[in-house]
Structure 1
Amino acid sequence: MEPSFQRDTAYIPDRITVDARDGWPVEAGRYRLAVARACPWANRAVIVRRLLGLEDAISMAIAGPVHDQRSWTFDLDPGAVDPVLGIPRLKDAYEARFPRYPKGITVPAMVDLETGGVVTNDFKQMTIDFSLEWTAHHRDGAPDLYPEHLRDEIDDVARGNYEAVNNGVYRCGFAGTQPAYEEAYDQLFERLDWLGERLSHQRYLVGDTITEADVRLWPTLVRFDAVYHGHFKANRSKLSEMPVLWAYARDLFQTPGFGDTIDFDQIKSHYYEVHRDVNPTGIVPKGPDLSGWMTLHHREQLGGRPFGDGTPPPPPPEHERVAPASNPAGGIIRSA
């Protein structure tokens, strides 16, 4: 194990755009979004797809939570094969475009149904393009998650959160030396304290509505007590012991499009069963108690409008709903 965890961020840079600048035009029904409920990076894409109402334009393949060294697998589907892509492993889609693909098989990934090959796995650009390039397919009332006048601030806040928090929990969990771990730990909690102060007087991270900045931070927060506090030794405080961040995270959890994407059973199964270098036995802990996610948060007292001039998304399609037993919200959030 390397002393300090370094994430490989050299993703497939192709983009799906209106002008098809990379050869991939925006076209409803042409692409399938491959995700895993367990993965925080994929969770971002699932949330944005929900909020913008892109379910009819972009179908979704859901991999199971436990994969081997080769690939995420579609073992949740009948016959362990994705019913649209017709493949058992996401690796098959990567290698359909890049034979003997040498890098990690990651989610989220956009797959071209015409060729069966992966177009892109660049999760940062993917959600921006959902907002800016797929506008012709947005639902009526879709929120503006990347308003032009706030983009510099959104990018700046999200960049700091990525380094210290989103990737910071992994730098804690996969550190190979005590100094590397302690450096990541200190940076993580310094940033969480900064976020707590910022969010003590405003409901959302940037502006008075939900933006891309919230979508990027929240998947890490929702996994914090269930996984990162124990599994990754990010244990100065639980999220539920940080009052402002806990209320902020609950506010979003109870907002349509956020909590209804979460399957805590799959999240815990993935981290504790797959990361055998961190958890050699593969035992998945029974705790913690996750029922508190639906308690009152009182964040509405800070003002703000979750969807701006837009409206909440409708409930997810039946085949994409999370089982009630895996989510204290029962898979459907009924109020903003």
Structure 2
Amino acid sequence: MQGEYIRTESRFRHWVTADGAPGPTGDGGFAAAPNRYHLYVSYACPWAHRTLIVRVLKGLQDIIPISVVHPIMPPDSWTFGDYPGSTGDRVQGLATLADLYQQVAPGFDGLVTVPVLYDTERRTIVNNESSEIVRMFNRAFDAWGRADLDLYPEPLREEIDAVNAEVYEGVNNGVYRVGFATTQAAYDAAYDRLFTALDRLEARLGKQPYLVGDRPTEADWRLFPTLIRFDAVYYSHFKCNRQRLIDFPNLWGYTQRLYQVPGIADTVRIDHIKAHYYGSHPTLNPTGIIPKGPALSFDLPAGRGAGVTGVKMTQERGARTDPAPRDL
């Protein structure tokens, strides 16, 4: 359809395995090891957010260090500028993420995206596809992380894959299809598809606490980054405004439950999220003004819906400035 937003494919698709054997999409030689791999992320990016979440859940913070880019993205590349919570490039001190891409693949002319999983031993980008990095973190590093936690258990894989496909098309990428549509017809179609998907998820979560099974799986952690951004940016900035997330009682309580899982709140930086979206898309927000609201109540007891009072604003968590960058 004319005016429809089309997402480009990731270019680096190698795979880290426990023993360095070839993975599903790449050659071998990338064996899991502590402090060999480095993760480049943006707190603002929902795709990078997935990898931060699984890194925390699997207890890999001490063996996979991170570098955090500046939240506002110029047209050509993420940068490593100074911003509370950003770290600079902790591997080589590069100025931009494009510098890393060019170093690894001279003449690279694709999109410079996060997350990036970088191999400091072979000095190359292993992978820049978030869904595959999540799968690597889930199992390849179990010798150093939480081997007892499997976010992609064998008996549930078929259902997880089916839910992932629906969530990606309808919601994860769906909000972008709405926000970046350039014709009314493309916008209308994307808008209807997004809210049809959210309605289905609302109904599903009215029958069970999580998307697949009785505990969070990969499917939940792939949906969560979009939901946590919905009221702060997608509702207004991307014109996804049929209703707010807080107006979906089941989705809202579900998002609160996931946010309150130990370690997850520290992966959510609302200040980076709002700075990025409102400051990096001049065609959508020419002034670059970042809204002060909305008040977000992820810290309240899960399950409380619209109309809550006395909210603890998540902006305060995300906007606090630390004397030194925080590691997750």
TM-score, with structure 1 as normaliser: 0.85
Q: What SS does the corresponding residue of 1:231 show, helix, strand or coil?
A: coil
2:292 matched to which residue of 1?
A: 286
Q: Deviations over 1:30-87 (max 9, x none)?
A: 1100001000000000000000001112111111101212211122479984233321
CA distance in 1, matches of 2:212, 2:319: 28
Corresponding residue of 2:95:
88
Counterpart AA for 1:294: D
Match of 1:257 among 213, 238, 263: 263
Report the alpha carbon displacement of residue 156 of structure 1 after superposing the two structures with TM.
0.5
Quote the Cα distance in structure 2 between the aligned partners of 1:247 and 1:230. Answer: 21
* Aligned-partner Cα distance in 2 for 1:203–1:80: 36
2:172 pairs, out of 158, 162, 166, with 166
CA contact (8 A) 2:139 2:150 kept: no
SS for the counterpart of 1:172 is helix
Q: Does 1:326 align with 2:318?
A: yes
Distance 1:297 1:144, change over 3 A: same
- Aligned positions of 1:59-138 closer than 5 A: 59-76=65-82, 81-138=88-145
Alignment of 1:139-288 (within 5 A): 139=146, 142-288=148-294
Helix, strand or coil for the counterpart of 2:143? Answer: helix
How far, CA to CA, are the matches of 1:89 and 1:288 in structure 2? 31
Asked whether the equivalents of residues 269 and 284 of structure 1 are also in contact (C-alpha less than 8 Å), the reply is yes
Counterpart contact for 2:69–2:88, Cα < 8 Å: no
User: In the alignment, residue 173 of structure 2 is paired with which amino acid?
Assistant: N
Report SS of the residue matched to 1:46.
helix
Say which SS state the counterpart of residue 119 (structure 1) adopts.
strand
**Alignment CA distance shift 1:327-1:255 (3 Å):** farther
- The 8 Å contact of residues 16 and 129 in structure 1, kept in 2 or not, is answered as yes
Label 1:61 to 1:240 Cα distance change in 2 as closer, same or farther (>3 A).
Answer: same
User: 2:223 & 2:161 partners in 1: Cα distance?
Assistant: 12
Residue 258 of structure 1: how far off its partner (Å): 2.1
Matched residue, 1:13: 13
Q: Secondary structure at the match of 1:287?
A: coil
How far, CA to CA, are the matches of 2:319 and 2:197 in structure 1? 28
Q: Deviations over 1:276-301 (max 9, x none)?
A: 111111111111112x11111249xx
| Structure-2 separation of matches of 1:173 and 1:7 | 13
1:170-199 per-residue CA deviation (whole Å, 9 max, x = no partner) reads 000000111111111101000101000100
CA RMSD of aligned residues (A): 2.3
- Aligned equivalents of 2:141 and 2:209: distance in 1? 27
Identity of paired residues, percent? 45
Matched letter for residue 6 of structure 1: I
Where structure 2 has 5 or more consecutive residues not aligned to the other structure, the ranges are 305-313
- Any stretches of 5+ residues in structure 1 without a counterpart? 300-321
Number of corresponding residues: 305
TM-score normalised by L of structure 2: 0.88
Residue 236 of structure 2 aligns to a residue whose secondary structure is helix
Check the 8 A contact 1:80/1:88 in 2, yes or no: no
Between the aligned partners of 2:237 and 2:183, the Cα distance in structure 1 is 16
Task: Decide whether aligned partners of structure 1 residues 116 and 70 sit closer, same or farther in structure 2, where only a CA change above 3 A counts.
Answer: farther
Post-superposition Cα deviations, 1:137-175, rounded to whole Å, max 9, x if no partner, equal 2136x5211111001100100110000100000000000
Counterpart CA distance in 1 for 2:87 and 2:63 is 24
**Structure 1 residue 132: Cα displacement:** 2.2
Aligned to 2:310: none
Provide the secondary structure at the position in 2 that maps to 1:186: helix
Corresponding letter in the other structure for 1:252: L
Decide whether aligned partners of structure 1 residues 200 and 123 sit closer, same or farther in structure 2, where only a CA change above 3 A counts: same
How far apart are the structure 1 equivalents of 2:256 and 2:162? 24
1:115 is displaced (CA, Å) by: 4.5
Distance 2:244 2:83 in 1: 34
For 2:316 and 2:120, the matched residues in 1 are separated by 31
Larger displacement relative to structure 2 (7-16 or 76-85):
76-85
2:307 aligned residue: none
Post-superposition, which runs of at least 4 consecutive aligned residues in structure 1 deviate over 6 A?
A: 77-80
Matching residue's letter, 2:258 = L
Any idea what the Cα deviations from partners look like across 1:106-139, whole Å, max 9, x if unmatched?
1110112134432210111110111122221213
Amino acid at match of 1:105: V
